[in-house]
Amino acid sequence: MAEGSGEDLVSEYLEQNPQLAQWLESFRGYCETNKQWFARREFLLRNMEAFPTIQQGVHCSSLDTLLSLSMVWANHIFLGCRYPQDVMVKIKDMGEGIEVPDAPVRTTRDEIMAKGKRSSTSGGDGDGCLKKAKAGPEGDGRPAGKAAARGQKSGPSPQAPAEHQPFFNRLYKAVAWKLVSVGGFGPNLDHFEILRSCVESCKQSLSCMFVPLKDIPDLPAGRTQKEGHVCELRCQTVYMGTGYGRDESAARAMASKEALKAFQGRKVTVKICRRRYRGKDVEDVVLLDDQPRSQGFPPALSYPFQAE
């Protein structure tokens, strides 16, 4: 590609090379916006010469490497993702000279926390997950929510799914890009770290609720006899997943893995569904994928929709 920068130069170059343009288009992600794709496309073109084994229309390991680096670079530019220092140095060098109009301005986690956005959950556990107070069978364990602040009748607002859907559409894109950069969803990933970083890139925080396994009355009889903990994940009061483990860390890891499974489909949807909470059926706002669901949800550990 000739020296220069800017989308005009890229477009002109690809107009002169239609087969190359068509080949590059096959690498565009399903959820990429025009701005994200045009920037990543320029990154690919600028760095293709550094991988001499890449041939148009031929799959090779060098092509996979370049595509992965382009995703890492785009994740950093558009989502604020951070990577090991040597990776950051490499992608910044490869992306030098690429101008991204109106590039997002990122706020660090420390800056967000300093603003006290979540003053009602000051007991953060130091690793990016806001940890709720533990609750036994008589504990309330409910976080403050919008409905509680308004003193409304217990239950989520009928408008809650529509209010939360835009955020989870953005989170879906962030998770999709993140999973591509790490080679896809798998059992050996740090599922909590992936979910946490994606949520924070969208300028929100995860909420974790931990309860001893023996204190959950609605679990199957075989499971209530075991020692361990249960973790429930929420974001913006929306339920995302539940996990069981020998300790809180293991339970949180399993809950994160279950939550990430919802992002494997073509979309995620926020809906109001029935769940069990403290022995009663309640309406809860939950995050679902686009696959048919044949079984119910685990019992709720927290319920952020109760009136004061």
Give a yes or no: residue 184 inside a domain: yes
- Are 251 and 137 contained in the same domain? yes
Q: Domain tally for the chain? A: 2
- Are 88 and 145 contained in the same domain? no
First to last CA, the chain: 64
- Are 136 and 284 contained in the same domain? yes
- Are 87 and 130 contained in the same domain? no
- Are 152 and 282 contained in the same domain? yes
Residue 32, domain extent = 7-94
- Are 31 and 173 contained in the same domain? no
Q: In tens digits, what is the pLDDT along the chain, a chain of 308 residues?
A: 444 445 667 777 777 788 888 888 888 887 778 888 888 888 998 898 888 888 887 888 888 889 989 998 988 888 878 788 888 899 988 988 888 877 666 555 455 455 554 444 434 444 555 554 444 433 334 444 443 344 345 789 999 999 999 999 999 988 888 888 877 777 788 999 999 989 988 888 888 988 887 777 655 555 545 678 889 999 989 999 999 888 889 999 999 999 998 888 888 999 999 998 888 889 999 999 877 665 678 888 888 886 53
For residues 221 and 113, give the distance between their C-alpha atoms in angstroms, rounded to a whole number: 41
> Which tokens go with 69?
């680096």
- Are 203 and 59 contained in the same domain? no
> Which tokens go with 98?
């690429």
- Are 51 and 146 contained in the same domain? no
* Nearest alpha carbon to residue 121 among 207, 236, 212: 207
Residues 6+ apart with CB under 8 A from 203: 107, 112
Give a yes or no: residue 252 inside a domain: yes
What pTM, to 2 d.p., does this model score? 0.53
Give a yes or no: residue 60 inside a domain: yes
